[in-house]
Structure 1
Amino acid sequence: MGSVAVFAPSPLLTVTVEEAPTGPDLHVHAGGQGVWQARMLQSLGASVTLCSVLLGEVGDVVRHLVEREGIHLRAVERDGRGAAYVHDRRGGEREPVIETPGDVLTRHDLDELYNLAFHSGLEADLTVLSGPAGDVVLPADTYRRLAADLRSAGRPVVADLAGERLDAVVAGGLAVLKVSDEELVDDGRASGTDVRSVVEAMRRLREEGAACVIVTRSAESTLVLDGGRMLEVRVPALEVVDTKGAGDSLTAGVAAALADRASIEDAVRLGAAAGALNVTRHGLGSARPDAVKAMTKQVEIRPFDGEDADQ
């Protein structure tokens, strides 16, 4: 596999309470979109560099946890309040106890983080841009600038974003954009989750600057618009343990394959397999690489004419 830089501006400290035979059991991990992507990327054999801002005591713990997993970390560090959550899953569903996005990044934080991310992107085969823990942690325009600068330097960018950050990164131009149909509706880019509305939104995103658009649709097939080709991706329905992190695992699988110079079909196949297996596990952004490889044989990719995806 190739090398991937992951832009993760505000990684989370995650604490999850599980039920165990002897009583409540605490699970403490580094998390957040970029960390879950980096974890899956590393599981699939990619060389990963995570670029983040680490704040205060939470940041100290996140650094320890990330580095213990063997992920290379480049970070801006200072005092402050880091992003974190505590979830209670003893009843089977995630019940938030505490959720905090952490402090807004200062101008100095942003300058230093931008330099770290751009440097790492120049050295890597591909860069993944992931979102922060909260909407106001950093300006959305940071994503436009970073995508545009890396594109100017000839480095491909993959993004898994929504809202203003999606608008910004598309304006900067990128190789692959992953988004869900519900996010397209929430952003006002699609009038509904029906196939026609989603396909029209995908075509507009391509015109605006995304060379390839991947749209996940919950239990329905995933749609891929690559240049002028529309593809439909189906995977077997598996028993769900936790859906959180499945989309990030899909993005990581796509990025890992593209960094290794695979075709978009093979990249989507690997991503779909990684995302499908992630829902069968309690650990977010995790799967055994041999299981993912076996699962790729169960992924069906076929041409799609824009009318028959759900028939």
Structure 2
Amino acid sequence: MSIIVFGSLNMDLVAQVSHLPEPGETLLGSGFATIPGGKGANQAVAAARLGAPTAMAGCVGDDGFGLLLCESLQASGVATDLVLVHAGPSGVALINVDEVGENQIVVVPGANAKVAVTDVERLPLGHEASILLMQFEIPLAAVQAAAKRSADCCVIVDPAPARSDLPPEFYGLVDILTPNQTEASQLTGLQVTGVTTAMEAAQVLRQRGAATVIVKLGSQGAVVSSQSEVFHVPAFQIEAVDTVAAGDSFNGGLAVALWEGKSLRAAVEWASAVAALAVMKAGAQSSMPTRKQVEAFLRQHPTGDS
């Protein structure tokens, strides 16, 4: 059994800046890099580097970026047989990162917008896969169709970017919903500022039908709400360099931990360690840690269940 990531592949065009620009402001950057990314591909790389058999499903363009995106996945051990090539450009993300690691991201979908409901039929759900990990950088109709076909899988959805057009029945198809602080606010209309308000937002999302909700709070950790328990997992105290892939590394780590049979609490603690290591390095896929690195980190920063 394996993990299938159904989602986006983007080339990240990353500029290092002194501060995030205001509207109309022009900045001189201090650095630039072209880095394979996309929330789907990032999460697939995170899972594969942690040792789980992982397959990526999605679309790239027939440009140079598309080839590089697939090669990057393969180099990390991700199977790309389910990645289709469409005529036209691949997806790109324009990213500004400031001196304290905060970021601004603009995503241009490119080939990601061509992912279709019919592509879901190619996914070996319930046969070869036990975890289906998805995001919202591909068309919602395809995400919903995959969730409907995944009765035998654990469906994890990272609702990024957050959408205001989610049909009510969508939540009931999701086993684990993992919004960050901003996305939880956008989905619920509540102002999520910390642990207490995150618990309130998680409860709203569970009432809509999501079986389990994990609200990622960055330096404040994560709040988990399921039918049987509600708890807070504090963040590891580290110095962040680049938060671009924080949520993606967390989701990849969560998928691997659950695939291995860890308890929900232990899985969230493991995912938090993966995210902590990822934000200590620059880049998206290039910052994803290996299993050995996570295990060494947890020996130095032990938690209750890890």
TM-score by length of 2: 0.81
| 1:120 shift after superposition | 4.9
In the alignment, residue 212 of structure 1 is paired with which amino acid? T
- Any conservation in 2 of the 1:85–1:100 contact (CA below 8 Å)? yes
* TM-superposition CA deviations, 1:208-243 (whole Å, max 9, x none): 222211111132131111223111111332111101
- Mapped to 1, the partners of 2:261 and 2:126 lie a distance apart of 16
What residue in structure 2 maps to residue 164 of structure 1? 163
Give how far 1:164 is off: 2.7
Q: Give CA deviations for 1:136-178 in whole Å, capped at 9, x if unaligned.
A: x52x233222212202xx2111111143389458434222111
Q: Which moved more, 1:54-63 or 1:293-302?
A: 293-302
TM-superposed deviation, 1:252 = 0.9
SS of equivalent residue, structure 1 residue 228? coil
Amino acid at match of 2:135: S
Alignment equivalent of 1:35, drawn from 41, 46, 55: 41
Alpha carbons 1:245, 1:284 under 8 Å: kept = yes
Q: C-alpha separation between the residues in 2 aligned to 1:93 and 1:179?
A: 20
Point out where structure 1 has 5 or more consecutive residues left out of the alignment. Answer: 303-311
Q: Secondary structure at the match of 2:175?
A: strand
1:38-187 alignment runs, 5 A limit: 38-57=44-63, 58-73=65-80, 74-85=82-93, 87=95, 100-102=108-110, 105-106=113-114, 109-116=115-122, 118-120=123-125, 122-132=127-137, 138=139, 140-151=140-151, 154-162=152-160, 163-164=162-163, 167-168=166-167, 170-187=170-187
Task: State the distance in 2 between where 1:129 and 1:13 align.
Answer: 18
Q: Deviations over 1:174-218 (max 9, x none)?
A: 221111122122334324425443222211222222221111113
* 1:81–1:71 CA distance, 2 compared to 1 (3 A): same
1:265 counterpart = 2:265: yes
How many Å separate the matches in 1 of 2:11 and 2:97? 16
Amino acid at match of 1:208: R
CA distance in 2, matches of 1:104, 1:130: 12
Partner Cα distance (1:92, 1:230) in 2: 32
**Alpha-carbon distance, 1:4 to partner:** 0.4
Maintained 8 Å contact 2:219/2:235: no
Residue of structure 1 equivalent to 2:245: 245
Instruction: Summarize the Cα distance change of 1:301–1:159 in structure 2 as closer, same or farther, 3 Å threshold.
Output: farther
Over the aligned positions, Cα root-mean-square deviation in angstroms equals: 3.0
Q: Which amino acid aligns with 2:182?
A: E
Structure with the higher strand share, 1 or 2: 1
**Residues in 2 aligned to 1:72 and 1:201: alpha-carbon distance in whole angstroms:** 36
Sort the Cα spacing of 1:208 and 1:90 in 2 relative to 1 into closer, same or farther, 3 A: closer
Q: Give the deviation of 1:88 after TM superposition.
A: 6.7
User: Post-superposition, which runs of at least 4 consecutive aligned residues in structure 1 deviate over 4 A?
Assistant: 24-27, 86-99, 299-302
Of all paired residues, the percent bearing the same amino acid is 22
Distance between the aligned counterparts of 2:243 and 2:98, measured in 1?
Answer: 16
SS for the counterpart of 2:221 is strand
3-state SS of 2:90 partner: coil
Q: Distance in 2 between matches of 1:114 and 1:192?
A: 34
The amino acid that maps onto 2:209 is: G
Seen in structure 2, the aligned counterparts of structure 1 residues 204 and 228 have a Cα distance that, compared at 3 Å, is farther
What residue in structure 1 maps to residue 275 of structure 2? 275
Secondary structure at the aligned position of 2:250 is classed as helix
Change (3 A) 1:6 1:99: closer
Residue 5 of structure 1: CA displacement? 0.2
Query: What number of residue pairs does the alignment pair up?
Result: 286
Deviates further, 43-52 or 215-224: 215-224
| Aligned-partner SS, 1:283 | coil
